[in-house]
A and B are shown apart, each in its own frame.
Chain A
């Protein structure tokens, strides 16, 4: 099994440190969800992993070979990112057709038939200029490039931003179908966590330039709980656990707990409910985080 690996990645922009000693291993043959708040460093991390931007410190390898300027490694990777509608000199007047032609020229395994099929599916007029596309259409173009690249490791940054619910569902289905048919690795960065949660085999959470967790989604959720009840009972029940986002209303208290293993017991005096990925993410990111 191949691994895209980043070790001790640090990225600085002037005095700002955007990524702080990030260690990450992406195993092929899985669908990863990359989640984090705006400005957490998701795009920067992805661009460094794909050698689109240089890291200040650290190394990125694919199967032990450096990715930077390495044809073999790069031929297995596609990072389809947001297309800017403005260039330094004004509107991006490139036509969709021209954009797709560049992709066709550079991706080794580009599937033109599939690209045409997806263009029809998302109803994209390839004669339109990039600056004339809506947000949803732009997202569709990035999806077309990612899917038709047929790269072993395909990375999409906010692919469903601006897409309507029908197009979003079409995208999720495309990923599942493609994954089932080819076993390609997908890394999907998204803010629409609840919708995409079922898609992710593994989840990577990033906060403030640091990797908070990288874990199998099912396993992660199996050890996450929302514990509520009388404040005293809750405090006693969660003693010794990692507690996030405590909320109080009068004498009633609710906390999100992440135990080390599934099947944690909290006693009879509190209510225990499973936690959705989005709620767990929120709980881990909000202020007031504390470790019990």
Chain B
């Protein structure tokens, strides 16, 4: 098996682990929501809506945070074991894609069974927004030694919260594009995300090509 294939396999597994951790946290949240409703009538509708919405946020934050770590930790290990920089760059995109797409598929199944169809729009905007946000955090991860840990952590926390909120769509539509109809605002949002993702990945590629084992 070629190095590229072995590397891809490793990153797909990493993406699945990230999704696994997100699901674990999601299960804890659902259990907590059920626990709070214990003794009362279970508000299944509320629990389903909260649980699914929270899952989108976890997916976005987990991907972003793991990218921040990866640039300073696991990438170095992988590079020290003979991976090429281009394998790592491609692997990170693959990892994010696996986690977000499979996460979205699971969310769609949950939406279907709980009949929370109004969350589909939120799901799509969240997933689209998560891609550039993950790339941004990965780039910040590369710069963390230069900029300093505290400064970057502040940026990361603010960025994470803002990103998750913006990705959640409702703020985007109500605050940024109140005059537009849903389709136009969504199209603009998607376009901005795609352009941002491409630009950020170009930046990340440049940073990755100089990465070193530490």
Q: Which residues of A contact B (CB under 8 A)?
A: 47, 52-54, 69-71, 74-75, 77-81, 84, 87-89, 92, 94, 99, 102-103, 105-108, 145, 151
Contact = CB atoms under 8 A, between A and B. Distances in A.
Contacts of A71: 2-4, 84
A106 B6 contact: yes
A74 B84 contact: yes
A146 to B, nearest CB: 11
Chain A CB within 10 Å — which of B3, B81, B83, B85 has the most?
B81
A106 B145 contact: no
A52 B79 contact: yes
A78 B79 CA distance: 11
B214 A84 contact: yes
B101 interface: no
B73 A103 contact: no
A99 B6 contact: no
B69 interface: yes
A108 B3 contact: yes
Contacts of B69: 87, 89
B169 to A, nearest CB: 30
What 7 A-B pairs have minimum CB-CB distances, sorted nearest first? Answer: A52-B213, A106-B81, A105-B10, A53-B212, A88-B72, A71-B3, A74-B82
- For the residues of B in contact with A, the DSSP-based class is helix
A89 B82 CA distance: 24
A26 to B, nearest CB: 17
Interface in B61-94: 69, 72-74, 77-86
Contacts, number: 71
Nearest to A87: B73
A78 B145 CA distance: 27
B15 to A, nearest CB: 14
A69 B84 contact: yes
B82 A106 contact: yes
B12 to A, nearest CB: 11
A81 B149 CA distance: 25
Contact of B213 (A53, A69, A102): A53
Contacts of B74: 102
Contacts of A92: 73
A78 B82 contact: yes
Contact of B73 (A47, A75, A89, A107): A89
A108 to B, nearest CB: 7
Given A107-B81, A107-B82, 18 more contacts: A47-B212, A52-B80, A53-B212, A54-B212, A69-B85, A69-B86, A71-B4, A74-B82, A78-B81, A78-B82, A87-B69, A87-B72, A89-B149, A102-B77, A106-B3, A106-B81, A106-B82, A108-B1
